[in-house]
Structure 1
Amino acid sequence: MPSQQALSLKEKAAYGCGDVSSNMMWGMTSSYLMYYYTDIYGLPLVAVSWILLVARIVDAFCDPAIGYFVDRMGGRIVPRLIQSLAIPFGITGFFCFLALPLSPTGKVLWAGLTYIVFGAIYSCINTPYGALAVMISRSETDRTSLNAFRMMGCQAGSLFVALATIPAISWLGGGASPAQHRYGMALYVLILSVLGSILWFCVARGCTVRHPPAPVRQNLVVTLCHLCRNRAWVLSNLLAFFYFVGQAALFGFALYYARAILGGTEQTGANIITGITILLFAIVPACVPLAKRLGAVRAGIVCLAGQIVAYLIMALAGASMTGFVLSAALLALAQGTMSPLYYTLLAEAVDDGDPLTSTGSAGLAYSINTWVTKLAMGITGFVLAQFLSWGHYVADGTTQPRELLSWVTAGFIWLPLGAVCLQIVCLLAWRRKEPAGSPA
């Protein structure tokens, strides 16, 4: 197919299907896995914190390994790799939420093993998927459009999970007891897993690799050194790390914030996740005209400034539901507008790095970025679980200790606010590298 051929709506939608699938399971693990471990499966908080962290440490080997494999095999392997991993992705995701009746130690081992294996499969399918946009088109406009569809797919998958999870596990389980919730959760995740595998097949068969990187047999250490000398690539990874710290805190602590600070229930937390996800999904298309007008970096700084204002309003609002809703809406609009820019900047960094280093390393470059995002999620999950432990959280308790309030606020507001400020520092450092003729 000629490289100059315009991308069809069908192909853009097919590309977005990958993030629908990823984020149905990502939404489950980021928003409900900690809740599932603590309140449904009954794992100790200390064990939960270490499971979340150790799984990401293991991923430190999986992500670069699959990226290095893609570089050595060449870009045309990507669709076949995605297709071959579609079914294992669904199976391992289902096992993460399958509550086997084991001893307390056995539960911890089962939870840790299944989450680690799912993380490895997720790495092996999502890393080549991330690199696929570079191989589909060389046009910055097309890439921004592809990543906009990717982010809409991301929010669509997250929205489905946010809307359906709490009602579905009660309905499928036939009640609200822990045993019924365990059964309902297993059936619900089974449905998500089957749908997720189907969507990955849509990606593999609906996207065309027009610009496949040739197989590269480079020394791994040399390639890593070349990547680390790519300043834009380093900054894009820092941006991704701090972004996903905020995402892990926002979605991972929403249920706890709703119960401890706002005085609501699990359904209140699910409604918060749903509302934020709807706004994230709806505002993503605004990224394209904003980036055209201001440039990717300046547009990102504007969006981050909006997030800072939102978090400060949220902190001042306290238990006020009105203040929380307004601040959460502003936060979601600012985050949703910026979300495609992370991948646009990463693609730019990878492109800029190739002529500088004379090494084709798109697979490894994207694999490390994928690992960085999951490392951020793992570290943040570990920290949040520790916050709950230090606040003496009572699993499924109707009343909570007063000291828990400050720890939940720290995890939901102050931790992600600090991550937003560090993102601005990264973009200010990037801004000095923009060409003089960039959009003002």
Structure 2
Amino acid sequence: MKIKQLKFFLAAAGLATLAGVAQAAPQVEVLHYWTSGGEAKSIAELKKMMEAKGVVWKDFAVAGGAGENATTALKARVIASSPPTAAQIKGPAIQEWGNEGVLANIDSAATAGKWDSLLPPVISNVMKYKGHYVAAPVNVHRVNWLWINPAVLTKAGAKTPTNFDEFFAAADKIKKAGLVAIAHGGQPWQDTTIFETVVLGVGGADFYNKSLVKLDQASLTGPTMIKSFETLAKIKTYIDKDAAGRDWNLATAMVINGKAGMQFMGDWAKGEFTAAGKVAGKDFLCVAAPGTEKSFTFNIDSLAMFTVKNPEEQKAQLTLASAVMSPEFQEVFNLNKGSIPARANIARTKFDSCATKSMDDMAASNKGNALLPSLAHGMALDSAKAGAIQDVVAKFMNSTMTPQAAVQALAKAAKTQ
């Protein structure tokens, strides 16, 4: 064999080998915003599972607690006709992407895994577009939690609050003790998290549904909503001056470190306590936010699957969907994240008192018609209306806007197209 022929043969053999390696190791590119301590630990477990199945994990992490930055990145990729394999999106946004014709049908994975029998209808309906599964649920978060450092309560001589009168009494004592009463991050989505929780605590489940889900104009402008804004205005007085722009996990760290007494936040905050080695019921308390004990505002994290052309990537995508719904991942992810599994029949033995209370409260709220989609976390309304309402709340939190002016602005925002 001549030198040139030998070089050609070796080069061709090398290319064939590389092609074989590429075929043997399909990849999934996953766009997500699970970037804080507990969240990053959780997603690392999914990466391990996929790599154990021979699938290369390409991480596309975009920081930003409520996912605004991730949504911007996703839009850019889809417009460029280069979507990731999967992206962390949820609620009505799944339907919006479905309308764009860019989501993949993953019914085969759902049928094989018997998802319809494992998921409550309130969850499975969100995962489908026109009757077909296009997303896999990762978990269920409860939003209406109040996180408390009991050592701070003891130092301040305060007790665990169950209603707003008791809450403000505790906040006064914490503030008097020289500590921050309410840890908060002054970001629009965090402001709206407190707002929706206050609306639920002041008005109850039926009022929440009428005002923040159905957008009933009379409810949005009535005395109960005015009282909600008055309560929110009082809460503002217990937030420290450095809250502007603070990330949620840094606010949680204030409670963990004893610099602040309480925080309104969903149960992803528990992942931060757990990552810090703290024990539920001892080092921190999880209680339903004032007045919301019998209700449950939910936020479902999910990975929506985007249409990919490569057959090997399509197979890897179905493998990813099945892995997300596996008992092993549902358990380990939710233990790290602070949430509860989306699918039924996951053993409770490894879950702490906060998680088991969340499971029980979700079941009870479902029966009592008090299982409610979170406005602040993209479960209740389309992005345009939710964004308009969030803007009103953010303005109220950062100005001298009166409750009366706020309800009028809220009603106007609800009419956003």
Q: For the superposition of Structure 1 and Structure 2, which TM-score range results when normalised by the shorter chain? A: under 0.3
Higher strand share: 2
Q: Name which one, 1 or 2, has greater alpha-carbon Rg.
A: 2
Q: Give me the TM-score of the superposition, normalised by structure 1.
A: 0.26
Higher helix share: 1
Q: Give me the TM-score of the superposition, normalised by structure 2.
A: 0.27
